[in-house]
Amino acid sequence: MAATAAVAPSGVKAMVINLGPQHPSTHGVLRVRLELEGEQVRACEPIIGYLHTGIEKTFEDLFYQQAIVLTDRIDYVSPLNNNLCYVLAVERLLGVEVPKRCQYIRVIFAELSRIASHLVWLGTSAMDMGAMSPFFYCMQQRELLLDLNEMAAGTRMNPSYLRVGGLMADLPPGFEQKARAFLDGFPHWLETYRGLLDRNPIWQERLVGTARMTLDQALDYGWTGPLLRACGLGRDLRKTNPYSSYEDFEFDVPTETEGDVYARYKVRLREMEESLRIVRQALDRLPQGPWHVDDRRVYPPDKLEIRQSMEALIYHFKLFSEGFMVPPGEVYAAVEGPKGELGCFVVGDGSARPARVHVRGPSFYNLQALPLCVQGGLLADVVAAIGSIDIVLGEVDR
């Protein structure tokens, strides 16, 4: 932290400090410029852009199918939700509908990565508050989820498992058992997290009443997801605008009314329970049958077929050398990401590359309201507030 002294208009000496960009509690490379009067925050300005990698520009240079790898790197803590939102947009432009089995598998992965994302949030924000053990217990469970990613996609962190028109591959044998083993074991760990934190006096002292936002303020600043639900509005796109067969599953949308950091904590923990419920239902009712569209303009033929049929080989070659054409038009597709409404605005111009892709990263909008949360509070509460907003800088800066 670099500190400089400035004289405030009131004549009181204010101290200006930079929290970040390299600081463990900023969860990445966020820089927050704070103006302090003693320990009190008088002004706060988040300064972003340190992780800007030009993803939206790069999109315009790649085929639609190739660009999926970019979406992983937007919110790298829950990559499969990003995949989903992008492929939904492109499929809508193409007018393609994927089979039920594929939709269910997408739901399974979207929910598992929601849990994975919430585990990172819980572990790191507990560590910010000085609690070391939850971090290890969270990461240990997250490892199991990454194992599942690895089983299905071969990669742990940036799986790029989804494809326009389907998936990279069907679920591998043994996946279901392993996923069920996680589902059976995880409730015990949720109880452990609760046991460690829920009534922990330090946790409560730091969180209850901290960084409070009213529902009106939250709506004004475009808050979505768990943050909005902690303010009392149960808006969840999985219920209000279901996609990928979410209407088939039974689950509740947890809400709280206090709008403080503790309410956000409670909402997210209950969301993990609901995600478990959804994954269990999806596994129980997983339909048999095709897991990608039978449309060779979009999805390549099976590898075995390529070895035997000239025509299949040609389709495969064309698809990977010149991509597929997407009709001109524009579409906004949104999913309920772990951090809020994750939207993808895709403009097609009739060629094989998108004319423009814009990603509405929920963290970008959520972070914008940080000054409102922390003004007048204590310096230490800034750390709690940043943790509770659950930012991923890859998504803020893109």
Nearest approach in angstroms of CB 295 to other proteins is 18
Q: What is the longest distance spanned by two Cα atoms in the chain?
A: 83
Q: Of 228, 207, 229, 226, whose CA–CA distance to 217 is shortest?
A: 228
- Does position 56 interact with other proteins (CB under 8 A)? The reply is yes
Instruction: Please select the residue that binds other proteins; options are 23, 42, 52, 296, rule is CB under 8 A.
Output: 52
What distance lies between CA 206 and its chain's CA centroid?
25
Nearest approach in angstroms of CB 312 to other proteins is 31
Q: Count of CB atoms within 10 A of residue 226's CB?
A: 31
Q: Which helix (H) or strand (E) holds 67?
A: none
Instruction: Please select the residue that binds other proteins; options are 33, 92, 296, 318, rule is CB under 8 A.
Output: 92
Q: Which is nearer to other proteins, 74 or 272 (CB)?
A: 74
Q: Which is nearer to other proteins, 128 or 390 (CB)?
A: 390
- Does position 235 interact with other proteins (CB under 8 A)? The reply is yes
- Does position 17 interact with other proteins (CB under 8 A)? The reply is no
Instruction: Please select the residue that binds other proteins; options are 13, 57, 297, 303, rule is CB under 8 A.
Output: 57
State both tokens at 302: 């099976």
Nearest approach in angstroms of CB 238 to other proteins is 12
State both tokens at 272: 């993990």
- Does position 329 interact with other proteins (CB under 8 A)? The reply is yes
Nearest approach in angstroms of CB 68 to other proteins is 19
Which residue type occupies 183? L
Instruction: Please select the residue that binds other proteins; options are 15, 35, 37, 58, rule is CB under 8 A.
Output: 58
> For the window 149-188, what string marks contact with other proteins as x by the rule CB under 8 A?
----------------------------------------
Judge whether 300 and 315 are in contact, CB under 8 Å: yes
Burial of 370-389, coded b for 16+ CB within 10 Å and e otherwise, reads bbbbbeebebebbbbbbbbb
Q: What is each CA distance from 172 to 108, 127, 247, 261, in whole angstroms?
A: 14, 36, 26, 40
Contact residues for 90 (Cβ-Cβ < 8 A; gap 6+): 64, 164, 326, 346, 354
Nearest approach in angstroms of CB 379 to other proteins is 23
How many residues sit in the footprint of other proteins (CB under 8 A)? Answer: 37
Judge whether 164 and 357 are in contact, CB under 8 Å: no
Judge whether 34 and 137 are in contact, CB under 8 Å: no
Q: Which is nearer to other proteins, 153 or 218 (CB)?
A: 218
> For the window 357-386, what string marks contact with other proteins as x by the rule CB under 8 A?
-x-x---xx--x------------------
- Does position 49 interact with other proteins (CB under 8 A)? The reply is yes
Q: Which is nearer to other proteins, 64 or 315 (CB)?
A: 64
Count CA within 13 A, CB hemisphere, residue 25. 20
For residue 345, what are the β-bridge partners? 332, 358
Q: Which is nearer to other proteins, 138 or 393 (CB)?
A: 393
- Does position 280 interact with other proteins (CB under 8 A)? The reply is no
For residue 36, what are the β-bridge partners? 15, 41
Contact residues for 188 (Cβ-Cβ < 8 A; gap 6+): none
- Does position 350 interact with other proteins (CB under 8 A)? The reply is no
Contact residues: other proteins, CB under 8 A: 48-49, 52, 54, 56-58, 61, 92-93, 219-222, 224, 233, 235, 240-241, 329-332, 334, 341, 343, 345, 347, 355-356, 358, 360, 364-365, 368, 397-398
